[in-house]
Every structure is written in structure tokens, then in C-alpha cells.
Structure 1
Amino acid sequence: MKKKILIVEDEIRIARVISLELTHEGYEVEAVDNGKEALKRAKEAKWDLILLDVMIPEINGMEVLRRIRLEDAKTPIILVTARNSIFDKVNGLDHGANDYITKPFEMEELLARVRSAIRASSFQIQNANTVRTIDDLEVDDSARVVVRAGVQIELTKREFDLLVFMMDHPNQVLTRDQLLNEVWGFDYAGETNVVDVYIGYLRKKVDNGFSHSLIHTVRGVGFMIKGLKNEHQSKA
């Protein structure tokens, strides 16, 4: 069955080119040109991916993203933006975007990001009923709930994905490049220090105020998650 992609883009020429390329790649494509119609179509149909331009009329892309995520936490969304500031990118990711791409972009880069987002989403669906535990930390994929010592912890999507990947590789030193490739995508073109920034976010939420630290830095190499029990459990 063909994967369905919703394109939200108000520049007709760009929307047409993207639609043609994605159709040629074997996707089923629909395009809308404003935020109001995007929200309507997002609710009416099931999409394998939404390609969402930020600067669109009626309702801007960030607000469309926010409203979609209130009801749908799983559909992959890639933001398309003409803005190149770190703030806009981080803001989009923190509001639930899976990835972003900045105009102007090469079509091959866009196609690669689409493939990566859909592949990651399919993997998450296959493993959606997994509950991971390390010491007193428990992560439930299906509910996207994180609890430590009975306290529920709120994480952004990127923080959650980073934590899950680390918990899938307990007691292993993970390099920055590994984490970038697996959590941000192999074609991520930003600074590698974004890993350090998000590790810092996780530590504040997952470790600070609890009995002991689970996230550790291996100087000059990378990071690892390790419990006092030195064991990891994963159950369906």
C-alpha cells in the first residue's frame, strides 16, 4: 500500500514540484495551501507523513503543528522553513516536529528526510507496546509516559526519542555521531553540540532530585545510561 503524504505549502510552484517528485517516488500525495485546510485534512484522513511549511496563510505552520499534536502524537511531521535560526528549529522540534528542512533545499535531501521519518515512524509502531525499565526509571512507548520513582516526567518528543534510544543500548557508550544519526537522522546538518544540549535537558528531568544518576558522560567519547543494578528490562 502506498504511503500517504500531505503537503502544506502556499507557493504553488514549490508544491507542484514536491508533489511530482514524491509521486514519482511512489507516494500518494495531496497538497493544500493554508493552515485552516491543513488542520481539516489532518483530521479527516490518516497520513503517513505531513510536510508542513511554517509561513502559510490563515493559520501559521507552528500553530498547525501545535494543534495537530494535541490530538495526534504519532504522525511524522517535517517542518519546511525559510528561517535558519536555531530558535525556530528548536521551537519546531519542541512543539513535536520530527524533523525540519530549510529553504532552499535540494530535492534529494527532502526525499531522504521523508524516507527517514517514515522509516522511524514504522519502527516505533512495531515497538509501540514496549515498556523499558532501568532501576526506578520506566518508559512506556505506547503511552509515551516516563516515570521515575513514581514521579511522572514530562519530556519533549526529541528528549523522549533520545532517552528511548539510550535505554535500548544500556551500559554502552554512545558517541555523539551515533546519537545524531539515530535520533536526529543520518542527514542532520546542524551542530553536534545539540546532543550535549539535549543530554543536559534529560539530566535535569530524569536525574536531578533523584537518588542517583542514570545518565553518565564518558569523557572524550560520549554518553551512556547505566543503573545501579547494571541491568535493563524490556517487556511487551
Structure 2
Amino acid sequence: MHEGPPPHVLVVDDDPTVAEVVAGYLTRDGCTVDRAADGPTALAKAAAARPDLVVLDLMLPGGMDGLDVCRALRHDHGRLPVVMLTARGEEEDRILGLEVGADDYVTKPFSPRELVLRVRSVLRRTRPVATTAAPPLCAAGLTLDPVARRAAKDGRELALTLREFDLLAFLLRHPGRACAREELMREVWGWEFGDVSTVTVHVRRLRAKVEDDPARPRLIQTVWGVGYRFAAYPGEEAPGRA
């Protein structure tokens, strides 16, 4: 169930059976659903009525696959959340989807109920229920506003995806502590199990946006054999709530 107006979800899949099943489950979960069978149609529908989330198949007919569509959606609509469907379970497919900005992925064949839960999780983060004001998180030139879901470095706004924002917020809330990949997957993604390469890909993307030199990261450090740590440097104010 969702608070406020029903979320608008665009389902992009050329398999009519899959699209119908997914649309049916999402509708029963309280979403309004539109469908498209190819990339150009999906982009046209997104332009006509911006959805709250897109469920996007990686393999689409014609010259525009799911990766192309995801890139175009990111270019045209910024932080529009995308849950990608991959027909194969190969790690390369999942990583490619995450690299172009997908917020989550589900591998075919999948449980429609699992997909609904993933969609619900993403929507919960992008359409938060009104809460008491939370102060911004500030450290090392970074400022995150959890309520407005805006982030900046040295006053310049960062174009972070949903998961990148949540990942950075979690690290800022736990400065100096080694956070295991499994913990990050549980706390940021809400997954009790899954492929930890998802975390690795998002850390790489996040470093490219917040580090002065992503090849030599100073803020998000690797803790070998464990995970990652947001570094608090001597002489600097410890990361925390402003």
C-alpha cells in the first residue's frame, strides 16, 4: 500500500504475457500502470506523463535496448527511478544496468511478488511519507538534505541516483566505521541476501561524483575483506548532523 496519490509506473517489456502479469500485480498493489513494448514508445510515454518509476526490460526489440532507454530516461528526466529486468542472470548484465543508472534489478524468471516488493522499496525512498524535519548531514564539503533528497559538494549539486543518495547518507551517518557490503545491502537496499557486486558498482559510481580523484579515493575508502568506510580526517569536523 502507498501513501498519497497512486504511484504511476511505466512497464516496458515486449513480452505481452510478462507485461500483463507485472501490470496486474502492480495495479493490485495500488499503482496506476502504463505499458510500452519498445524503447521509442517508452520514451514518448514518459515524456507525455512522467512516471514515478519505470520497470524496464533489458532486452527490447529494434535498435534501442533497455540500456539505451535507461540512459535516455536519465538524460531527459534526471532521477527517475528505474528497476531493470534482466533475461539472463549473468553478472555482466546486472552490472551494465547499474552502471547506466538503474536503481534495482530483478532477474528473469522472477516472482511477480518479489518485483512488487522491489518496486515498493524504491518508491518508499522516492516518495517518502511526511515526517518531522531531519537536519542535513554535512562532512568534508558534502551536504545531504534527507527531506528534500538533495546533495551537494562544495555548493555544487550532485546528480545522485536513489541508491547513490541512500548509500552516501548511510556512510555519512556512520563515519569512521567499517561497513560490510552485506550490511550496506541490508540497510540501503533492504535486501537480506543478494549479489554484493551491486554495492561495489554503486560505490564506484558514487566515488566518481564525490571524490576529487576517484582512482585514489580519500572519502569512501575500501576496507579490504570487509567493505567501505567514510573517512574522518584529523583536523576536520567529524561527519554528522549539522
8 A contact 1:94–1:156 mirrored in 2: no
The answer for the alignment partner of 2:79 in structure 1 is: 74
Q: Deviations over 1:37-96 (max 9, x none)?
A: 100111111322111112222432211111110021222111112122222211111111
Match of 1:13 among 11, 14, 17: 17
Q: Which residue identity is paired with 1:182?
A: E
Q: 1:12 deviation in Å? A: 1.1
Q: Which residue identity is paired with 1:89?
A: R
TM-score of the two chains, using structure 1 as the length reference: 0.78
Q: How many residues align?
A: 231
8 A contact 2:207–2:214 mirrored in 1: no
Q: 1:184 deviation in Å? A: 3.6
Q: Deviations over 1:157-184 (max 9, x none)?
A: 7555433321133233422222112334
Structure 2: 5+ residue stretches without partners: none
TM-score of the two chains, using structure 2 as the length reference: 0.76
3-state SS of the aligned residue for 2:211? Answer: helix
- 2:13 and 2:76 map into 1 onto residues whose CA distance is 22
Shift in CA distance, 93/196, structure 1 to aligned 2, threshold 3 Å: closer
3-state SS of the aligned residue for 2:105? Answer: strand
3-state SS of the aligned residue for 1:55? Answer: coil
Shift in CA distance, 188/120, structure 1 to aligned 2, threshold 3 Å: farther
What fraction of aligned residue pairs are identical, expressed as a percent? 34
Shift in CA distance, 3/200, structure 1 to aligned 2, threshold 3 Å: closer
8 A contact 1:84–1:102 mirrored in 2: yes
Structure 1: 5+ residue stretches without partners: none
The reply on whether 1:25 has 2:32 as its aligned counterpart is no
Q: Deviations over 1:173-215 (max 9, x none)?
A: 422222112334416521x355456556666762748999333
Q: CA RMSD in A?
A: 3.6
The answer for the alignment partner of 1:95 in structure 2 is: 100
8 A contact 1:96–1:157 mirrored in 2: no
Aligned pairs (5 A) from 1:1-236: 1-58=5-62, 59-123=64-128, 132-135=137-140, 137-139=141-143, 147=153, 159=164, 161-186=166-191, 189-190=194-195, 192=196, 194-195=198-199, 199=203, 206=211, 208=213, 213-216=218-221, 222-228=227-233, 229-234=236-241
Shift in CA distance, 94/210, structure 1 to aligned 2, threshold 3 Å: closer
